[in-house]
Amino acid sequence: MKLTRLLSVPLALLLLNSCSKGLQGDVHNLSDAIEHCRDYSRNVLDSDLEISLDQYSTRQSREFYDVYMNVESRVRKGYAHCKIDTAGLIVLFDAPGFRRKGGAFSQF
């Protein structure tokens, strides 16, 4: 029991660190939020995708930046959505229909 408790803390820290890698960015305005979403999308989605800004859907509110990207592959068109708080943390990322890079914990 004591060994489980001792091992659970480092394991939890490792998982949290690997899951949140790239979620925090240096964001001061909407332009920074767009760049952060684009970079994060390129980092987590398959590399054969074209990613561009959907300027008509992207918007800024008091608490969040809602950034939408057009995502295209040879066979599929869709979007990616980042909800970024004013501190620069991506609190929501969604790209329906597109696979993410990574291992077993990449979908969390």
Q: Residues 5-61: pLDDT tens digits? A: 444 444 443 344 444 458 999 999 999 999 999 999 999 998 889 999 999 999 999
Query: Helices marked H in the chain — which ranges?
Result: 2-20, 30-44
pTM (2 decimals)? 0.73
Separation between Cα atoms, residue 84 and residue 70, nearest integer Å: 17
Q: Residues 75-104: pLDDT tens digits? A: 999 999 999 999 999 999 999 999 888 655
| Residue-level pLDDT at 58 | 95
Which position has the token pair 């608490």?
63
| Residue-level pLDDT at 46 | 86
| Residue-level pLDDT at 99 | 87
Separation between Cα atoms, residue 93 and residue 103, nearest integer Å: 17
H or E segment and range at residue 64: strand 64-72
| Residue-level pLDDT at 86 | 93
| Residue-level pLDDT at 103 | 56
| Residue-level pLDDT at 93 | 96
